[in-house]
Amino acid sequence: MRDVAIVSFAQSKHVRAQTDSNEVEMLMPVVREALDNVGIGMDRVGFTCSGSTDYLSGQAFSFVMTLDSVGPWPPISESHVEMDGAWALYEAWVKLQIGEIDVALIYAYSKSSPGNVREVLTRQLDPYFVAPLWPDTIAMAGLQTRALLDSGTATPADLAAVAATARRNALANPYALLTGDASVEDLLAQPMLADPMHVWDCPPITDGCAAVVIAADDVARELSKNPAWIRGIDHRIESQALGLRDLTTSVSTATAGSKAGVSAGGFDFAELHAPFTAQELIARNSLGLDASVPINPSGGALSANPVMAAGLIRLGEAASRISRGEGNRAIATATSGPCLQQNLVCVLEGSA
């Protein structure tokens, strides 16, 4: 296996609704920044891969338009996944492992603002038996949260602590959308949104994007003084049907984590992609991370959730923190599908 590292990361200042700019205008400066950080142009990029989804933008082939952000001329080797950008990064990592190229660019974006994201995401379900009931993401997350509370593994105060910590961490993140300094008591006193979900259990609706550059071996060392090396990366999917899974654990996170080498431990922090509070506890438990490991110092998806980019951002945030020397070893995850159906786990490490 080649040594591949994340050498650059850029993201937009995430907002509730980006009404001035279309997706290309939103993405272009972020892609430019990711390339400029390491002083390269598209001529040094051997492969480009992006993650996005048509249903959020309400346009078929929406990713075709955003390819302009990259200026793909002369023609480039490029692909796209209808998934979170974290999986686009995985595809690019695989390409680098083949050995023919050394640098890849990954980007991901979405605007949740054009449609009603809660309704749009109901279309991501079994069209015969589930989607016609229009169970939105909050309702689905509510089922998982209820299951977790009923199992005795977590209390409402535990969930509130996740939310409070996330938004407080976000105060130090200039890109985050939702920040705050509430106490657990403050949060528990708020009314329910959809029992057992409070507003604070849920992610903010977000428009945003991110871009990452990865590189292999000596090229990574050339481009970055302290690259964040990908020591392990794996992803797994479970059945979508909620009744077929134990919603209080994330088997796919555990399996992917095991394959990525999480059992070696020694993590300084973890960026876990968990749009709902219960999911952060479930992911943390599934990875065997005890209370000593800080979770989501960036504020996580609870503070900014550009769907399709939020997972890539966890990898980028973790890598940046390592490159800045604020920690040497971290886990970053990405999730997709209702109630943590599909998960990617990545172990990142600096050179310290």
Partner 1 sequence: MSLVLPPSIADVEQVKSVRTPAHLDYSYTPGKAMSSFLRGLEQKKIIGQKCPQCGKVYVPPRGACPTDGVPTVEEVELPHTGTITTFCVVNVSFYGQGMEIPYVSALVLLDGSDIPLMHLMQEVPYDQVRSGMRVEAVWVPDDELKPTLESIKWFRPNGEPDMDSASMRGNA
Partner 2 sequence: MSKLPAAIVGIGQTKHMSTRGDVSIAGLIREAALRALDDANMTWSDIDAVVIGKAPDFFEGVMMPELFLADALGAVGKPLLRVHTAGSVGGSTALVAASLVHSGIHERVLTVAFEKQSESEAMWALSMPMPFAPPTHAGAGGYFAPHIRSYMRRSGAPDHIGVLVALKDRLNACKNQYAHLHETDATFEKIADSVMLWDPIRYSETCPSSDGAAAMVITNEANANRGKLAPAWIHGSAMRSEPTMFAGRDVVSPRGSRECAADVFGQAGIVDRRAEIDVVEMYVPFSWYEPMWLESLGFAEEGKGWMMVEDGSTQMDGDLPVNPSGGVLSTNPIGASGMLRFAEAAMQVRGQAGEHQIDGARKALGHAYGGGAQFFAMWVVGADKPA
Does 16 participate in binding partner 1 (rule CB under 8 A)?
no
User: Pick from partner 2, partner 1, none: which does 125 bind, CB < 5 to 8 A by kind?
Assistant: partner 2
The residue (of 48 and 145) whose beta carbon lies closer to partner 2 is 48
- Out of 2, 13, 16, 25, name the contact with partner 1 by CB under 8 A: 25
Binding site for partner 2 (CB under 8 A): 1-2, 48, 53-55, 59-61, 63-65, 67-68, 71-83, 87, 90-91, 94-95, 97-100, 120-121, 123-128, 130-131, 234-241, 244, 251-252, 255, 336-338, 341-342
Q: Is residue 322 exposed (0-12), middle (13-18) or buried (19+ Cβ within 10 Å)?
A: buried
Counting contacts by CB under 8 A, is residue 68 touching partner 1?
Answer: yes
Q: What is the DSSP string of 145-166?
A: HHHHHHTTS--HHHHHHHHHHH
Burial class (CB in 10 A: 0-12, 13-18, 19+), 243: exposed
In terms of CB distance, is 121 or 247 closer to partner 1?
121
Rounded to a whole number of angstroms, the minimum distance from the CB of residue 17 to partner 1 is 8
Residues across the chain: 352
- Chain centroid to CA 348: 15
Look at the alpha carbons of 11, 14, 302, 206 in this order and tell me if their dihedral is positive or negative: negative
CB 31 within 8 A of CB 309: no
Distance of CA 299 to the CA centre of its chain: 12
Task: Out of 37, 52, 69, 323, name the contact with partner 1 by CB under 8 A.
Answer: 69
Question: Residue 100's binding partner, choosing from partner 1, partner 2, none, with beta-carbon cut-off 5 to 8 A by kind?
Answer: partner 2
| One of 20, 43, 243, 290 touching partner 1 (CB under 8 A) | 20
By CB under 8 A, residue 61 contacts partner 1: no
Q: In terms of CB distance, is 74 or 191 closer to partner 2?
A: 74
Instruction: Say if CB 303 and CB 169 are below 8 A apart.
Output: yes
- Give the separation between CA 336 and CA 339, rounded to whole angstroms: 8
> Within positions 73 to 132, which residues make up the interface with partner 1, using CB under 8 A?
73, 111, 113-116, 119-120, 123, 127-128, 131-132
331 contributes a contact to partner 1 by CB under 8 A? no
The answer to whether 118 and 138 have CB atoms below 8 angstroms apart is yes
Which does residue 119 bind out of partner 2, partner 1, none, counting CB within 5 to 8 angstroms by kind?
partner 1
DSSP 337: S
> Residue 24: which of partner 1, partner 2, none does it interact with, CB under 5 to 8 A by kind?
partner 1
- Of 75 and 266, the one with the shorter C-beta distance to partner 1 is 75
Q: Which does 261 bind (CB under 5 to 8 A by kind): partner 1, partner 2, none?
A: none
Residue 343 CA to residue 74 CA, distance in Å, equals 35
In Å, how far from its chain's centre is CA 234?
14
Q: Which is nearer to partner 2, 47 or 200 (CB)?
A: 47
Q: Which part of the chain contacts partner 1 (CB under 8 A), choosing from 46-54, 62-70, 92-100, 239-247?
A: 62-70
Examine residue 70 and tell whether it contacts partner 1 (CB under 8 A).
Answer: yes
C-beta closer to partner 2: residue 74 or 152: 74
Pick from 331, 351, 320, 132: which is nearest to 229 by CA? 351
Cβ neighbourhood burial of 43 (10 Å; 0-12, 13-18, 19+)? exposed
Pair of tokens at residue 345: 């786990």
Pull the structure tokens for residue 134.
């229009």
Residues that bind partner 1 (CB under 8 A): 18-25, 28-29, 31-32, 42, 57-59, 68-73, 111, 113-116, 119-120, 123, 127-128, 131-132
